[in-house]
Structure 1
């Protein structure tokens, strides 16, 4: 497979460590045979091109597009079938940051009024050293924050293409790949462009959940169903507490007494939720906000 890496003006974009001119090299290393370069590329992807606080850098949108294109080639990573799963998880994190809803239009309007200022701020940021870049985030202009908002809108705009490349993996022959794909559609499919296909997608996810053979996979898919507005009441009586908890967290069940009772029951034992998955970590969604925040806060606290 040949994926063109020159699909963006990388030198005019930045990531966590400065100009993103090194990003194409790191992404290409993910497709190569050099073990050290591969590790460096993987670290760059997860630690440099996306923020831990579920926000994005200007380099994130073109990076996410390239990652989504990697998924088109089933011949990649023949010795490590978990790599496509990791790429799907990365795209989920981008989707969370791009889940702007009605805010996208507001941010776009704010950006439109400051295009020249944002371009100048970015140019200075790209030419500054590390100390200078750090000071710019506290320059009092607010332009740095607006540049990051602009980056989120850029991710919002590429979500339809990313979603189209993720959806086929819901039919993968690998159970864990299907689960990771369910994670990856959970935020992107909330994009306005996906509104018409959302009901059918919820049905497809429900079918995946019924076919899953582990509580981890069931719980992960159930969270995605809830994210897309699906009805998760049917899983509130599941024998596994982690599945019940994920079903109870669905936004559509806010105020539902049965869901509230599930959460109260889990709250009686502070570690019940995470411990219920045994050696597995909680579902992938708990690596990003808002679910990550629930774990940080002690999760199901008694009310």
Structure 2
């Protein structure tokens, strides 16, 4: 808290003007008071940072927040606005992640200088760009300069007792890893996150760590052979392994097993959180499977499943693979197409007492591949 006294807050600004109110908000953080914590955290997320932007007051505040992360009371969960309850420490880590992201790490220093100091480089259709204040460049560079000092406080939170805090620390570490001034620590951060992806206590944490590694383009092939099939799939979905033959095998093994496919629709926990609904997995599969016949066993399971929140999206993916070229009058169905459509027609939950909006989704999906959207006309084609 001594750092508060080293700044002239009247010469610093946040999203709403002079930052003279900011020290009081920060002092509220050291009270054992939920309302005071909530008030301070809201100030961090709406004034000290705002919609991804940073301000001259942001860097000094980030230094103070990083120094307070280990306060004993910060393991107590609180909620504000629409956010889910999580420990105060996790909320503060989210703020530090926003600070790191606000440094615009994908731009070089010269690009930032050009954008913020040369009006001709700004987008004339964006009046906010034209009105960018003179301090904007300095605010970004100020946050870049203090980013290395945030790394160790954030990494210490990776061993926190609360999984929500560990997840927030992983996200903050990932954001810091991309800041150019933290480049000397990047390999160390990646190694720490990879250890979490291997050894974290819960599957959800392992998935989050893997997704973070993918942001660095650093998912190791070894995860394709992990003890957990869900982790194998998450690794297979990573951009860095998208073209790896073993990655395709992991997706292939998951999507061509009819019994496993049936479980997707009865138990949402059967798929990793990062994959979510079956259509995400099906999208991955159809991009890696040349022959619809190989997908037919799973396609039949999907077509026969009682109406499910993602059924129409799943069917759309499979219809596009079954009909790589649109069906037209006079065409004949091949055997796999006929089997798939016959099961689809027999699934009464897709045709009877279906809400209009959902019905339109199936109509559009069928029309996109040249098939009639009504049951009688489609039955004629399948029976011919």
TM-score (norm 2): 0.53
* 1:68-125 Cα distance to aligned partner (Å, 9 max, x none): 1112x443436558211221121112112224245223324665789xxxxxxxxxxx
Q: Shift in Å at residue 13 of structure 1?
A: 2.5
1:109 and 1:236 mapped to 2: Cα distance? 43
The answer to whether the 8 Å contact 1:222/1:246 transfers is yes
* 1:194-248 Cα distance to aligned partner (Å, 9 max, x none): 4344334322222212222323211211122222332254445775769845763
The answer to whether the 8 Å contact 1:187/1:227 transfers is no
Matches within 5 A, 1:95-114: 95-108=100-113
Q: Shift in Å at residue 50 of structure 1?
A: 1.4
Aligned pair 1:201/2:189, yes or no? yes
What corresponds to 1:23 in structure 2?
22
2:64 to 63, 66, 73: 66
Greater mean deviation of Cα atoms: 166-175 or 256-265: 256-265
Q: Shift in Å at residue 165 of structure 1?
A: 2.2
* 1:47-85 Cα distance to aligned partner (Å, 9 max, x none): 222122x222332222212111112x4434365582112
2:65 and 2:236 mapped to 1: Cα distance? 30
Matches within 5 A, 1:258-297: none
Q: Shift in Å at residue 158 of structure 1?
A: 1.3
What corresponds to 2:3 in structure 1?
4
Aligned length: 254
* 1:213 counterpart SS class: coil
1:142 and 1:263 mapped to 2: Cα distance? 48
The answer to whether the 8 Å contact 1:95/1:159 transfers is yes
| Bigger relative contact order, structure 1 or 2 (CA pairs below 8 A, ≥6 apart) | 1
What corresponds to 2:54 in structure 1?
56
The answer to whether the 8 Å contact 2:99/2:143 transfers is yes
1:217 and 1:159 mapped to 2: Cα distance? 25
The answer to whether the 8 Å contact 2:75/2:87 transfers is no
Structure 1 segments unaligned to the other structure (5+ residues): 115-136, 283-299
- RMSD of Structure 2 on Structure 1 (CA): 4.1
2:237 to 245, 248, 259: 248
Greater mean deviation of Cα atoms: 158-167 or 169-178: 169-178
Q: Shift in Å at residue 138 of structure 1?
A: 4.4
What corresponds to 1:187 in structure 2?
175
Distance change >3 Å, CA 110–CA 99, structure 1 → 2: closer
1:65 and 1:281 mapped to 2: Cα distance? 33
1:104 and 1:262 mapped to 2: Cα distance? 41
* 1:24 counterpart SS class: helix
